[in-house]
Amino acid sequence: MTSKIKVFPGTPLREVDFKEGKILYRHDEMNGQYAWDTGIGIGSYLAALKEGVLLGSYCRSCRRTVVPPRTVCEWCFRPMNSYIPLKDTGTVNTFSLCYITWDLKRIKEPEISAVIEIDGASPLHGIMHKLGEVDPEDVHIGMRVQAVWKPADEREGAITDILYFKPIKEG
């Protein structure tokens, strides 16, 4: 359809029109500041990260260990029964090679996002993080990985206290 139209009606805008102030242009930076209460579940998770520990929680009725920990089991709607420290190793469930950064810059070496099923958590329970110290071509679903932590004195109780996960060398 549109391929048949040679000239679109209207006035096209060019970059230079913005620069020269030929159009009404208003720059607005939203001042949206939030101080989210992390609460019991995520608060405990972050506090444990600071100690270099991955924390999960266990639901007795579903016999499931989930990570990050939460106060309610989303499957049976019962309160979680206990918090459980987990290993910092796991298996890649899925990953992606990201060639564009969050603010739309094209990059040559991809960032590697991955969901890692944590050892000790129930199947399909993992944490969302990045992979590092690995050739993008070698990454595969089912790959065994381990957390690389920030030095203890630099941790601040944030998801970034883990720098990335790296492959576990077999044997």
Partner 1 sequence: MSERVAIIGVGWVGYRPSTPEVSYKELTYEAAVKAYADAGVNPRRDVDSFITVAEDFIEGTSIFDEYVPDQLGAVLKPVHTIGGDGLHGLATAHMLIRTGQSEIVVVEGHSKASNVVTLPEVTAYAQDPIINRPLGLNTDFIAGMEMNRYLFETGTTLEQCAAVLVKNRRNALRNPLAPYGADLTLDEVLAGPPLAWPLGRYEAAKHADGAIVIVLASEERARSLCDKPVWVIGVGWCNGAPSLESRVWGDVPYIQKAADMAYRQAGIRQPHLAIDFAELDDTYAYKELQHMEALGFCRPGEAGMLIEEGATEPDGEMPVNVSGGSLGMGNLLDANGLARALEVVLQLRGEAGQRQLDEVEVGLAQSWRGVPTTSGAVAILSN
How far from 156 is each of 13, 35, 63, 149, CA to CA, in Å?
47, 16, 32, 12
CA distances from 130 to 25, 62, 114 (A): 38, 29, 6
Between residue 76 and residue 105, which ones bind partner 1 under the rule CB under 8 A?
76-77
* Binding-site partner at residue 70 among Zn ion, partner 1, none, CB < 5 to 8 Å by type: partner 1
Residues in 19-58 at the binding interface with partner 1, rule: CB under 8 A:
24, 26, 28, 30-43
Does the protein bind partner 1 through residue 63 (CB under 8 A)?
no
User: Could you tell me the smallest distance in angstroms from the CB atom of residue 35 to partner 1?
Assistant: 5
Which tokens is 12 given?
């096209």
The size of the chain, in residues, is 171
Identified binder of Zn ion from the candidate list 13, 47, 53, 76, rule CB under 5 A? 76
Smallest distance, partner 1 to C-beta of residue 33, A: 4
Cβ distance to Zn ion smaller for residue 18 or 75: 75
Determine the Cα–Cα distance for residues 34 and 37; give it in Å rounded to an integer. Answer: 9
CB of 43 to partner 1, least distance (A): 8
Please pick, from the candidates 40, 42, 62, 148, the single residue that binds Zn ion as defined by CB under 5 A. Answer: 62
- DSSP labels, 55-97: EEEEETTTTEEESS--SB-TTT-PBP-EEEEE-SEEEEEEEEE
CB nearer Zn ion, residue 74 or residue 133: 74
**What are residue 146's DSSP bridge partners?**
89, 166
Q: Is residue 59 within 8 Å of 70, Cβ to Cβ? A: no
Judged by CB under 8 A, the number of residues near partner 1 is 24
- Binding-site ranges for partner 1 (CB under 8 A): 24, 26, 28, 30-43, 70-72, 74-77
